[in-house]
């Protein structure tokens, strides 16, 4: 069937079927506490069985309306951080979702380097998010330059189907430079490194998170129609490796600058600089989707300092909108980022370009 995964290419490498009596501490740990979690959420996450437990082979994450410390709601947030991590693969869960105004359930991943790199530089892959509407789920990536409300993703709407009434399967297939989203094995979106405005930060280890939040800036807050307790039910989590992914697929090579140009234009009050550059690989082939970071000397505010290469390998325009009293304007590249490629400055035809109105 079109849009369905090729099951024969995926080999199971890890799973939690939740068939024990208690949550497996070799797989899961907890985030705990309140404070809004960066989204003005209302719940206090706990490790209590009231909020996370196994019942008849199902992981139950339960949001409750109750006084707990300084909060009016409790819930749970489980993660595999520092226990189980993966780079690439098919990651799926069979879930039955909660529902109601202000109820926010999520099955997602964060980069294992979050402690050192911070968010969103570590990367975030939202495999499934639901904000109380029983017919709609969301899949999104967040990275530097495209996070929060600017995350890149899509939604899946199921007419006549309530995700809160029965179990459904939610998955991603995660490859170098590309993530695809599925609901019940139906592909509904694919995002590649050329679709995001900033750096693609999904080529390293990630860990899984399952949580059920109450309230927040995105879903809004519970009202008189919201019924508690609410439960996120998890039948299983499974991770597969791609048997078709080869060593060659993981060895992208290097990129460097093959050409740099800059033009100056008299715009009346000042001179304006416009720069372009061409990025190629070690064989001299144009590289599409490389993120070029650069800086200006002799320019004031308003300069464009980041751009992505097109299919010809060209990045730009980089524009210095205001020129200071210095006569010379300089444009220099600080970094080039591309999935699985290293930036080899030693091969650059040049690192900077200089122009003066007197030339």
Q: Is there a single domain that holds both residue 190 and residue 333?
A: no
Mean pLDDT computed over 276-294:
93
Q: Is there a single domain that holds both residue 193 and residue 107?
A: yes
Which of 112, 129, 173, 306 is catalytic? The answer is: 129
pLDDT band, residue 324 (cuts 50/70/90): low
Q: Is there a single domain that holds both residue 30 and residue 157?
A: yes
d(C-alpha 304, C-alpha 277), whole Å? 14
**To the nearest whole number, what is the mean pLDDT of the chain?**
93
For residue 336, the enclosing domain spans: 253-355
pLDDT of residue 229: 98
The enclosing domain of 120 has a CATH number of: 2.60.120.200
Query: Which DSSP letter does residue 189 get?
Result: E
Q: Is there a single domain that holds both residue 215 and residue 287?
A: no
Q: Is there a single domain that holds both residue 84 and residue 228?
A: yes
Q: Is there a single domain that holds both residue 130 and residue 276?
A: no
Tell me the per-residue pLDDT of 9-21, one tens digit each, with 9 for 90 and over: 999 999 999 999 9
Per the CB < 8 A criterion, the answer to whether 186 and 3 are in contact is yes
Per the CB < 8 A criterion, the answer to whether 328 and 355 are in contact is yes
Return phi, psi of residue 347, to 5°. -95, -5
Q: State how many domains the chain has.
A: 2
Q: Is there a single domain that holds both residue 229 and residue 303?
A: no
Q: Is there a single domain that holds both residue 342 and residue 231?
A: no
Examine the residue annotation and report whether 124 is marked as an active-site residue of this protein.
yes
pLDDT band, residue 1 (cuts 50/70/90): very low
Q: Is there a single domain that holds both residue 144 and residue 184?
A: yes
Mean pLDDT computed over 50-75:
97
d(C-alpha 27, C-alpha 24), whole Å? 6
Examine the residue annotation and report whether 129 is marked as an active-site residue of this protein.
yes
Mean pLDDT computed over 246-255:
80
Q: Supply the pTM of this predicted model.
A: 0.83
Tell me the per-residue pLDDT of 83-113, one tens digit each, with 9 for 90 and over: 999 999 999 999 999 999 999 999 999 999 9
Which of 41, 62, 124, 306 is catalytic? The answer is: 124
Is 2's pLDDT higher than 70? no
């Amino acid at each position: 069937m079109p849009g369905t995964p090729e099951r024969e290419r995926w080999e199971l490498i890890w799973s939690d079927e939740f068939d024990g009596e208690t949550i497996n501490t070799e797989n899961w740990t907890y985030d705990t506490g309140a404070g809004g979690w960066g989204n003005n959420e209302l719940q206090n996450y706990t490790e209590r069985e009231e909020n996370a437990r196994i019942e008849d082979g199902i992981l139950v994450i339960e949001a409750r309306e109750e006084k707990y410390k300084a909060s009016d709601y409790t819930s749970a947030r489980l993660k595999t951080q520092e226990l189980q991590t993966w780079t690439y693969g098919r990651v799926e869960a069979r879930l039955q979702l909660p529902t109601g105004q202000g109820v926010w359930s999520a099955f997602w991943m964060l980069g294992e380097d979050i402690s050192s790199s911070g968010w969103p530089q570590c990367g975030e892959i939202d495999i499934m998010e639901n904000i109380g509407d029983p017919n709609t789920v969301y899949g999104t990536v967040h990275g530097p330059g495209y996070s929060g409300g600017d995350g890149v993703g899509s939604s899946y709407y199921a007419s006549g189907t309530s995700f809160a009434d029965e179990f459904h399967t939610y998955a991603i297939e995660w490859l170098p430079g590309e993530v695809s989203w599925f609901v019940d094995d139906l592909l509904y979106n694919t995002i590649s490194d050329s679709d995001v405005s900033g750096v693609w930060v999904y080529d390293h280890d990630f860990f899984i998170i399952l949580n059920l939040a109450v309230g927040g800036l995105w879903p809004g807050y519970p009202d008189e129609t919201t019924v508690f307790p609410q439960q996120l039910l998890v039948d299983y989590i499974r991770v597969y490796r791609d048997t078709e992914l080869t060593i060659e697929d993981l060895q992208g090579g290097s990129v460097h600058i093959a050409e740099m140009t800059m033009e100056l234009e008299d715009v009346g009050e000042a001179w304006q600089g416009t720069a372009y550059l061409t990025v190629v690989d070690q064989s001299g082939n144009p590289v599409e989707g490389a993120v070029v970071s650069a800086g200006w000397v002799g320019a004031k505010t308003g300069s464009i300092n980041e751009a992505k290469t097109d299919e010809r390998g060209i990045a730009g325009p980089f524009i210095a909108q205001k020129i200071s009293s210095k006569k010379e304007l300089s444009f220099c590249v600080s970094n080039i980022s591309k999935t699985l490629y290293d930036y080899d400055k030693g091969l650059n035809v040049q690192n900077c370009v200089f122009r003066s109105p007197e030339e």
